Structure 1
Amino acid sequence: MENKKKLTIFVSSTVYGFEELLDKTYTLLTKYGYEVWMSHKGTVPVFSDRSAFENCINAVVNCDLFLGLITPFYGSGRNGEEISITHQELKKAIELNKPRWLLVHDHVVFAKSLLKYLGYDTKLSRKKLSLGKNRIFDDLRVIDMYEEALISQKPLSKRSGNWVQKYYSDDDVIIFANAQFFRYQEVEAFVKENFEDYNHVSKAIRDSGGRL
């Protein structure tokens, strides 16, 4: 009898300073029966004719579920100036309406609120600011990511998939992941029932080789 295909969860490519958290998350999700695609653990499907960036984005395209972490550290893009790989993974998950679960660090939430109070409440206005050298943020575009995760560009009545869970400690992330993913069969049923259109598109992408 052929083994049933496991649901695949792609965990966003946040690494710097969060290795222990990623290890814990990987262990938890695999224990519950998921196949976990995580660049930190080397489990993202890799094709030698693609760049690291392309392999990560194609993994987002081909995964069943997306677990995103928005941390105070933005990361880098392909050329150093483009939006980061982690940011582009999030954009792709939203574009494809992936079944997604997102977490944002408390520092990002606080910074967004503070800058709004000071009059820097848009992406354009924040470009005028310079962070200088600090140990809390490396790029204010982490706030852009948070706003995109909230689907803040749409009226509140038209937003869906915009739940973003605030966390402060590793334990907060593990509590959230445990609560959302430990009922494997319920998650599987949820995806089938609520993402029928996505399932058809995803199958077509897989059949075509998963190319962008």
Structure 2
Amino acid sequence: MKGKKKLIIMVSSTVYGIEELLDRIYTLLTSYGYEVWMSHKGTVPVLSSRTAFDNCLAAVEKCNLFLGIITTRYGSGQDEQDPQSLSITHQEIRKAIEMNKNRWLLAHDHVVFAWSLLKNLQYNGKAGREILTLRKSDIMDDLRVLDLYEEAIAHGIPLPERQGNWVQKYRNVEESSLFVTSQFSRYQEVEMFIEENFKNGFSLFDEGGQS
């Protein structure tokens, strides 16, 4: 039996404004033994025959683990002429959810606060927020950030049926780093969990490591 490959963890493509956070996460995850696919670091496998969207979504499909980061910036990639189009980050996280990837999600405190406030003001759900107009600012640049957060927490699904809906709130680099350390520092335990569950047909040996 050939040697095992490293577990591959894909970090969502959010970049703007959180470069320091991404640098810290990359350093932590690589020090724990993971192969980290992160667009900020240029480590996502890229084929020239694919679009940027396709390369990112292919990485989500092939990774063993997925770490999504929801910030107050909706992210790049959406068609400005199409209000229904989604950013790369939104598509990545949605793909991870649809595939039931082993996933961990972080959301900035401002996102959680804004979502809770509007919900309490009866602007509940995407439909309830459609009448609102948001002026872009440093606080939040697009209400679709809240749509993404709702998908992540499985909002609207009956509580007993919600799975994989843990989203960790963070306020700064230190809090997000603590979450990453707590979840990923025990590499062998994570590896054993993947091997025992095989939810996505993973193989950690040389012929696998990818779905």
- When normalised by structure 1's length, the TM-score is 0.91
Identify which of structures 1 and 2 has the higher relative contact order when contacts are C-alpha pairs closer than 8 Å and 6+ apart.
2
Residue identity in the other structure for 2:117 = L
Shift of residue 2 of structure 1?
Answer: 4.7
- Is the CA contact (8 Å cut-off) linking 1:8 and 1:35 kept in structure 2? yes
Shift of residue 133 of structure 1?
Answer: 3.6
Q: Structure 2 matches for 1:1-212, cutoff 5 A?
A: 2-80=2-80, 81=82, 82-194=85-197, 196-199=198-201
Q: Which runs of 5+ in 2 are unaligned?
A: none
- Is the CA contact (8 Å cut-off) linking 2:136 and 2:142 kept in structure 1? no
Structure 1: distance between partners of 2:199 and 2:186: 23
Cα deviation 1:140-180 (Å, max 9, x = unaligned): 11111111111123110011111111100110110000010
Q: How many residues of Structure 1 are paired with residues of Structure 2 in the alignment?
A: 205
- Is the CA contact (8 Å cut-off) linking 1:73 and 1:138 kept in structure 2? yes
Cα deviation 1:124-143 (Å, max 9, x = unaligned): 12121111142210001111
Structure 2: distance between partners of 1:52 and 1:58: 10
Q: CA RMSD in A?
A: 2.0
Structure 1: distance between partners of 2:52 and 2:106: 24
Residue identity in the other structure for 1:85 = I
Residue identity in the other structure for 1:45 = P
- Is the CA contact (8 Å cut-off) linking 2:134 and 2:142 kept in structure 1? yes
Structure 2: distance between partners of 1:21 and 1:182: 17
- Is the CA contact (8 Å cut-off) linking 1:36 and 1:43 kept in structure 2? yes
Q: Which stretch shifts more, 165-174 or 126-135?
A: 126-135
Structure 1: distance between partners of 2:189 and 2:136: 46
Structure 1: distance between partners of 2:173 and 2:131: 32
Residue identity in the other structure for 1:26 = Y
Structure 2: distance between partners of 1:153 and 1:64: 28
Partner secondary structure for residue 67 of structure 1 = strand
Shift of residue 79 of structure 1?
Answer: 2.5
Structure 2: distance between partners of 1:4 and 1:58: 22
- When normalised by structure 2's length, the TM-score is 0.91
**More helix per residue:** 1
Shift of residue 78 of structure 1?
Answer: 4.4
Structure 1: distance between partners of 2:169 and 2:123: 21
